Amino acid sequence: MKYRLIFRIAYSLLLARWKQTLVAAIGVTFSITMFITLLSFMSGLNDLLDGLILNRTPHVRMYKEIQVSKKQPIDYIQKATQGHNFIKSVKPKKDRIDIYNSEQIIQSLKKDTRVLGVAPKITAQVFFNVGSIDLTGSINGIDTEEENRLFKFSDYVTSGNFMDLKNVPNSIILGKGLATNMMVNIGDVVQVTTSKGEQFSLKVVGYFQSGLQDLDKVQSYASIKTTQKLLNQSENYITDIQVKLKDILWAPPTAKEYQEIYQIDAIDIQKANSQFETGSSVRSLISYAVGITLLIVAGFGIYNILNMLIYEKMDSIAILKAVGFSGQDVNLVFITIALSIGIFGGSLGLLGGFGLSSLIDQIPFNTESLPTIKTYPINYNPKFYMIGGVFSIITTYLAGYFPAKKASTIDPVIIIRGK
């Protein structure tokens, strides 16, 4: 009963200045719309840029690093009872760079419930022979099907069929930049020299475009078998094991665990690509700051209009108090007005934000380096809508708080006697 009466009074005061009220509500609508659009767009862009690297990067990469032995020979013969050993000019030892027991490691990784998939890989440094010139490059030997399932390989193969890598013997998919430099087309044969000096002919079955130009100028893909043949190695020669987990956040502890179990180097995606994380968080921070500033400006608009309303309705407030409405009732009336503006403007803003971001989602966005992207990226995360909604209510409440407090302390005697 009491709240119904308060609502009724608030409603009639709202309607009394409906034009100003509408302007205030539009202010909120505009800021929420921009807030949602900005965050959706920025976050879509972040996802796109992160995806450029992160989608193609294994969550945990296991490999063998060429490095200095941790225990030098002297450590074996002399127990360090007193003094220290100083060894100068330590060099890395000659060691195999393939992973020992790779077959067993892959089998055991596949049984781990946290693992989404495992893809073996071989990296080989080669020279591409074009006439009298040699171009440096690298060939990644991949398990075509697994690579596609886990790292969306087919998305980046812009011409040719990626499965030909498996089906056509001695085939290669070249980076677009590399193919252009060498002036080769699909179906042509390229000459490759390995680091050990052996020559090899490979048939080009496709181009790939990663979005990173520098990468496309040196990278190429072949099947694992072809690469092993190229390097003249046996069937269990593997240099990298790429693991994709069910949750990217599990990567750091899992990497550490694998390192201990299998006694090889393992690096997690967060460590390998920490710069992306930083970039994304700074970009989101900026969008939040801009969005919140917009909302605060809208809040000042509401504050102004409520203040004006109070001066205008001083008589009404005084008489309400004279006939028995308490300061708290008057306070509630103005808070209700502010919140109604916030809720009305805010919900329209959420709809507007959704509309505007859907519109941006339709705008064509074609770029040479991003073959899979056709329109501007938008992230429709419900989190943004929730933050926007909550924030519109909080700011309008704060904007209403001080005017409402002022209205509640109006002394009716001064107003009534003043006439």
Partner 1 sequence: MKSTTVLEAQKISKYFHDPVTIKILNEVSFSLQSSEFVSVIGKSGCGKSTLLYILSTMDTDYEGEVIIDGMSMRGKKEDELARVRNEKIGFVFQFHYLLNEFNVLQNVMLPGLKLGKYSEQEIEHRAYEKLSILGIKEEAFKMPNQLSGGQKQRVAIARALINEPLLIMGDEPTGNLDKKNSEIVFHIFEELAQVYKQTLLIVTHDNEFADRTSRIIEMEDGQIIKM
22 binds partner 1 (CB under 8 A): no
Contact status, residue 118 vs residue 104, Cβ threshold 8 Å: no
Of positions 127, 327, 351, 401, contacts partner 1 by CB under 8 A = 327
Bridge partners (DSSP) of residue 153 are none
Cα(209)–Cα(156) distance, rounded to whole angstroms?
5
Contact status, residue 412 vs residue 322, Cβ threshold 8 Å: yes
Nearest to 419 by CA among 308, 314, 310: 314
Cα(74)–Cα(364) distance, rounded to whole angstroms?
66
Nearest to 287 by CA among 35, 110, 86, 2: 35
Interface residues for partner 1 in 397-416 (CB under 8 A)? 411-413, 416
Of positions 77, 80, 323, 363, contacts partner 1 by CB under 8 A = 323
13 binds partner 1 (CB under 8 A): yes
Residue 343 CB, nearest distance to partner 1 (Å)?
21
Q: Which stretch binds partner 1 (CB under 8 A): 75-83, 86-94, 273-281, 311-319?
A: 311-319
16 binds partner 1 (CB under 8 A): yes
Residues 6 or more apart whose Cβ sits within 8 Å of residue 184: 174, 190, 204
311 binds partner 1 (CB under 8 A): no
Of positions 325, 354, 384, 385, contacts partner 1 by CB under 8 A = 325
- Choose between 358 and 409: whose C-beta lies nearer to partner 1: 409
Residue 28 CB, nearest distance to partner 1 (Å)?
23
5 binds partner 1 (CB under 8 A): yes
Give me the numbers of helices (H) and strands (E) for the chain, helices first please.
Answer: 17, 10
Residue 1 CB, nearest distance to partner 1 (Å)?
5
Size of the site for partner 1 (CB under 8 A): 27
* Token duo for residue 14: 């709202």
- Choose between 281 and 409: whose C-beta lies nearer to partner 1: 409
Residues 6 or more apart whose Cβ sits within 8 Å of residue 410: 310, 314, 317, 318, 321, 330
Residue 401 CB, nearest distance to partner 1 (Å)?
18
Binding pattern to partner 1, positions 329-358, x when CB under 8 A?
Answer: x-----------------------------
319 binds partner 1 (CB under 8 A): yes
Cα(80)–Cα(205) distance, rounded to whole angstroms?
60
- Choose between 115 and 319: whose C-beta lies nearer to partner 1: 319
- Choose between 104 and 328: whose C-beta lies nearer to partner 1: 328
Cα(204)–Cα(90) distance, rounded to whole angstroms?
43
Residue 322 CB, nearest distance to partner 1 (Å)?
5
Contact status, residue 141 vs residue 228, Cβ threshold 8 Å: yes
- Choose between 34 and 330: whose C-beta lies nearer to partner 1: 330
Q: How far apart are the first and last CA of the chain?
A: 33
Cα(400)–Cα(379) distance, rounded to whole angstroms?
33
- Choose between 53 and 415: whose C-beta lies nearer to partner 1: 415
Q: List residues near partner 1 by CB under 8 A.
A: 1-2, 5, 12-13, 15-16, 315-316, 318-329, 411-413, 416-417, 419
